[in-house]
Structure 1
Amino acid sequence: MARREANVRLRALAQEAGWTGAELARAVNRAGAESGVELRYDRTSVAHWMAGTRPPTVVAALVAEALARGLGRRVTLADTGFAPPDSPAAGAPGATGALGVPGTPGAPGTTPDHARAPADTFSQAATLTALDRSRALPYQREFEADPVHTRPYNPADAPPARRVEAAHVRSAQAMLRSFAAVDTSFGGGHSRSALTGYLRCSVAEWLESPAAPKVRRDLLVVASQLASLAGFMCYDVEHQGTAQAYYRTAARLAAEADDACGQAAALRALSMQAHHLGHRPQALELAEAAAVHAPRLPPARAAAVMGQLAVAAAGRGDQRRALDSLARSSDLLSQAESAEDADGSGYHEAAHESHQAHVFAALGDVRAAIGALRRSLQQRPPGERRTRAVTTDRLGTLLLEAGNLEQACASWHDFLDDYPLLHSGRVDRALRSLRGRLRPFRTSVAGRTVLARSEPLMSRSSRAALAY
C-alpha cells in the first residue's frame, strides 16, 4: 500500500488563518450547514486530512470556501492540497456552474466575457423553477461580476402558452410590495418559501410566454426585483449558495430588460454578501461593477451603490477610497427627492449611517462607528424591525469591545425586544453570539440580566434554524 503524503498545503493555510484543527472543522461545518449539508467534523478529521486523507469532493470544496473566508482571498482545491495542480479543479473551488448550482453550464472561470455562451430568458425561467428546492453551495469564483449577453426575444421561440398582459405585471408588482414589507418587518424566514414558490409557479411561466414588447420589459424588471428579494431572503436565513444564485438570475433578467437599477442592485447585493462571508477582493470587484451603472441611476439608488463601494474598499484597507465613496454617497443622497422604491429597497439616512459604521469599524475607528450606529437607529423607520435588530446587535458588540458593558447590555435588551417577532438566520446567529460574548461577564448584574432574558429564546432559535 502506497504511503500517504502529508498535506502540507492544508496545514500551511490553517496556520496562515490562525486556526486550530477544531476551528477549521467548525468553519467547514458552518459552510455545510448553509447548504443543508449536516457535517460533524472535528479536529481528528482535520488531522486525518493533514496527514493525507482526502475528503469527498463536496467537502473539499467547503474546506476551500471556509479557508477563503478566513483568509479574505481566493483559495482553490489545489491550494488546499485536495486536487493535483494540473487537474481541471485546480483553478476553481468546486464543480459548480455559473449560478452556483451543481451541473449548470457557464461557470465564469477564466473564460473571456465575449466567449461565454449567451444567456436568455428561458434559461433564467428554468433557473427560477429549479432554485430553492435544494440549497446550492457557495463558491468563491461565483462572486465575480458576470456581464450578460442576451439574444433578442423572439415570441416564436416561446412554448405555447397564454399571452402575458399588463395585468399580470401589475399583480407581480403588488406581490413584490407585499413580500418586501413582510421581509422588512419579520425577516426572510417568514415568507421565503411563499416568494420562491410564486417565482417557480407563476413568474417562470410568464417569462416563457408571449407578450407585447413593453409588457415584456416591465415583466423582466419586476421578475428581477422579485428574484433579488428572494436572494436577500435566502441570505437572511443563511442559505448563501441559493441566495447567490437568485442574485445572479436577478442581474441577468435586469440585463435583458436593460434595467440599470436592477443590474446595480443585484451586483451590490452580491458585493454585500461576499463582504459578509469574508470574500473581500470579490466584494470590491462586485461593488465596482455595480458602480459602473451609477450614472444611469436615480440619486438614492446611486447613493446606495456608492455606500457599498465604500464598505468594500474599507474591507480591503483602502481608506482614501472608502471615505471618498462615502462622501459621494452622502452628496447623492442629499439630491434624492425620495428614498422609497417600489421594491422596498429604498436607501435613506439610516442606511447611509449604517454604511458609515461599517467603514469606520473596518478602518479601526470604533468610536465613530458607534456614533454612526446610534444615528442610524435614531433615523431608522419603525417598520424596519429586522434591520433594527441587526443594528442593535452590532452596536452592542462594538460597545462591549470598547469596554462599555452596561451600554452594550442596554443595546442588547433592545435587540431582545425585537427578536421574538423575527424569523431570520442572521438574527438567530446574533442571539447565540451575544450570549457567547456575555458569558465572561455573567457575574455582573448587567450581563446576568441579558443572559437570563435570552435563555428562553435559545430553544426557539434552534427550532427556527431547522425550519429555514
Structure 2
Amino acid sequence: MARSVTNKALDALLFAAGYGNAHAAFARQVNHAGRAQGSWRYDAASVYWWLRGRRPAEHVQNAMAETIARKLGRPVEMTELGFLGTNLADAAYSPTASGAIDAAGRLWTLLAHRVNSPIGGAFHSGAALQAAFAWRYDLPDTQVTRDGRTSLTGADIQPLNLLAEHFADLDRRHGGGSPHTRALMADLLARQVVPMLHGAYADAVGRDLMRATATLCGQLAFMSYDAGEHGIAQHHLTIALRLAKAADDRLYGAHLLANLATQAVYLGHTRDAARLAEAAVDGAGRAPAAVRARLYTTAASAYGRSGERRACRAALAKAERAVDRMRKEDSPRWVSYFSPAHLAGTTLKCLSDLRLHRQALRHASDAITLTTQNARTRVLHSALIALTHAQAGDLDAACTWGREAARHTPQVSSARVTQRIQELATVLTPHRTRADVHDLLSTLAPTPPPHSGRL
C-alpha cells in the first residue's frame, strides 16, 4: 500500500505548478535544471520518496525550486519545499517586507490544498508582543520598489480591495468556519497575489499593493481565528502587520494589532491582550473616530476580562465619546462595519465579565440593533444577552434570547459562536427540569464541539 504524503509543502507546490499528476515530468525538468552538475537520473519514484520525507541534497533542492518557479512565474525559495522543517504556524515578525512576502507565499500555497486537514498551531502571546514592539518602533521602509517580470500599475491593485470587501462580507454573513472558503481565499492569494508581489512596481504602487495584500491577509487571519485555527490566524496577522508597515499604513496596522489583542482575550491571555491593545492605541496616533472607537473597545475587553474595573470603564467611556464623533466619510473602508451596536455588545460583555449583570443588560437592546448581513455578530450578541440574563437569575429572559440565538445559529459556521452557545447551555443545565429550559437545551444540543479556545 502506498505511503501517505508527509511533505505537504512540496505536494502543494507541485499541485500549484501543474505537476500534481505529472511527477515523471517534474523529475525530468529537475534533471534538466541540474545538467550543469552532471547527469541526474531522478524519476517519478524519486518524487514519490521526496514527498514522503526523503531529503535530496541542497543543490538538488535548488534545481527543484528553479523548476517550480518557472511554472509558477515567481521566485520560489528553497525553504518553501518543506525539507527544512519550516513551521508554517510560526508567527515571527519579519525584519523585511520581502521576508513577509516569502512567508505568505509558503503559507498560502499550503493552505490552498489543505481543505480538510487543519494545520493547527497554538497562539503565542510572547511572539505577538514582539511583533507589536517591532511594528511600533522599527524604522519605516525607505522604499518598496521591485524589479520583476510583470509591471504593475495602480489599476491592478483596485480589484484586490474589492476582493477583500467581498470576503469580509461573506465572513460577517456566514462566519469564518468554512474550510472551503478559507482555502478558496488562500488559493486566490497564492495564484494571483503572490506573483504580483514578485512583479515590478514603483514605490507608490508597491505601497498600495502592500496595503491591499495586508487587508486580504488580515481578513483571512480573522476568518482563521473565527474558525479556531489560532496559530494560522496569528501567523497571518503577523504577516499582515509587516505588510502594513511596508505600506506605511499605521491605522490598519493598529487595527491588526487590535485583532491580535482580541484573539489574546478570547484565549485568556488577558494581561498581554491589554498590552497589545495599548500598543494599538499608541501606534494609531490621531486616528479617525471610528478607528479610535474600535481600538478602545478592544482595550476595554482586555481590562474587563482581567478584572480591571477602573481601566475598563475608562476605555469604554473613551470608546463612547469616539462613537459620538464617528463620520463615515472620515473612516477607512475596513472599519465601516463598526457601529454603536458593536460598542454596546462589548460594553455588555465587559460589565458581565465584571459580574455587573444588571448594568450589563441595560445595553442589550442597543447590542442587537445590527444590520441584517451581520449574522455572526447577531448570534454572538443574542447568546451573550441570554447568558447574562441566566447569570442574573432571569431564566425566562434567558430562554427567550436563547431561542433567538438558536434561530440564527444554523446560518453561521463559527467556533466562537459554538463556544458561546455551549457556555449558555452549561449555565442553563442545572435548571433543565424546567420545561422551557429543557426545550431550549434540546434545541442547542446539536451544536458541534468547538475548536480549542475560550471566550
The TM-score, its normalising length taken from structure 1, stands at: 0.69
- Is the CA contact 2:145–2:200 (under 8 Å) kept in the aligned structure 1? yes
Tell me by how many angstroms 1:103 deviates: 7.6
- Structure-2 separation of matches of 1:295 and 1:213: 24
Do residues 444 (structure 1) and 434 (structure 2) align? Answer: yes
C-alpha distance 329-395 of structure 1, shift in aligned 2 (>3 A): same
- Is the CA contact 2:228–2:451 (under 8 Å) kept in the aligned structure 1? no
Amino acid at match of 2:101: A
- Structure-1 separation of matches of 2:417 and 2:90: 34
Tell me by how many angstroms 1:398 deviates: 1.3
Equivalences, count: 350
Instruction: Name the residue aligned to 1:218.
Output: 208
C-alpha distance 345-265 of structure 1, shift in aligned 2 (>3 A): farther
- Structure-1 separation of matches of 2:335 and 2:282: 23
Instruction: Name the residue aligned to 2:7.
Output: none
Instruction: Name the residue aligned to 2:104.
Output: 128
Instruction: Name the residue aligned to 1:199.
Output: 189
- Structure-1 separation of matches of 2:421 and 2:301: 24
Secondary structure in 2 aligned to 1:161? coil
- Is the CA contact 1:260–1:296 (under 8 Å) kept in the aligned structure 2? no
What are the Cα deviations for residues 388-438 of structure 1, in whole angstroms up to 9, with x where unaligned? 111111111111111111111111111111111111122223333333333
- Is the CA contact 2:91–2:238 (under 8 Å) kept in the aligned structure 1? no
Tell me by how many angstroms 1:375 deviates: 1.8
Instruction: Name the residue aligned to 1:143.
Output: 128
Do residues 187 (structure 1) and 175 (structure 2) align? Answer: yes
Instruction: Name the residue aligned to 1:274.
Output: 264
C-alpha distance 103-427 of structure 1, shift in aligned 2 (>3 A): closer
Do residues 364 (structure 1) and 355 (structure 2) align? Answer: yes
- Structure-2 separation of matches of 1:376 and 1:214: 41
C-alpha distance 240-369 of structure 1, shift in aligned 2 (>3 A): same
Amino acid at match of 2:133: D
Instruction: Name the residue aligned to 2:87.
Output: 102
- Is the CA contact 1:119–1:151 (under 8 Å) kept in the aligned structure 2? no
Amino acid at match of 2:122: L
- Is the CA contact 2:144–2:206 (under 8 Å) kept in the aligned structure 1? no
- Is the CA contact 1:122–1:208 (under 8 Å) kept in the aligned structure 2? no
Amino acid at match of 2:342: A
Of 218, 222, 242, which aligns to 1:228? 218
Tell me by how many angstroms 1:465 deviates: 6.8
Instruction: Name the residue aligned to 2:150.
Output: 162
What are the Cα deviations for residues 188-218 of structure 1, in whole angstroms up to 9, with x where unaligned? 0242222222222222222222213222211
* Structure 1 residues not aligned, in runs of 5+: 1-100, 109-117
Structure 1 residue runs of 4 or more that deviate by more than 6 Å after TM superposition: 103-106
Greater mean alpha carbon deviation, residues 307-316 or residues 276-285: 307-316
Amino acid at match of 1:147: A
Tell me by how many angstroms 1:106 deviates: 8.9
- Give the structure with higher Rg (CA): 2
- Is the CA contact 1:310–1:323 (under 8 Å) kept in the aligned structure 2? yes
- Structure-1 separation of matches of 2:433 and 2:248: 59
* Structure 2 residues not aligned, in runs of 5+: 1-85, 112-118
- Is the CA contact 1:374–1:395 (under 8 Å) kept in the aligned structure 2? no
What are the Cα deviations for residues 95-114 of structure 1, in whole angstroms up to 9, with x where unaligned? xxxxxx83888958xxxxxx
- Structure-1 separation of matches of 2:92 and 2:236: 15
Q: For 1:291-370, list aligned pairs within 5 A.
A: 291-338=281-328, 341-343=332-334, 346-370=337-361
- Is the CA contact 1:121–1:208 (under 8 Å) kept in the aligned structure 2? no
Sequence identity of aligned pairs in percent? 23
Q: CA RMSD in A?
A: 2.5
Q: For 1:16-165, list aligned pairs within 5 A.
A: 102=87, 119-131=95-107, 133=111, 134-144=119-129, 145-148=132-135, 149=138, 151-153=141-143, 155=145, 158=147, 160-165=148-153
Tell me by how many angstroms 1:359 deviates: 2.4
Secondary structure in 1 aligned to 2:337? coil
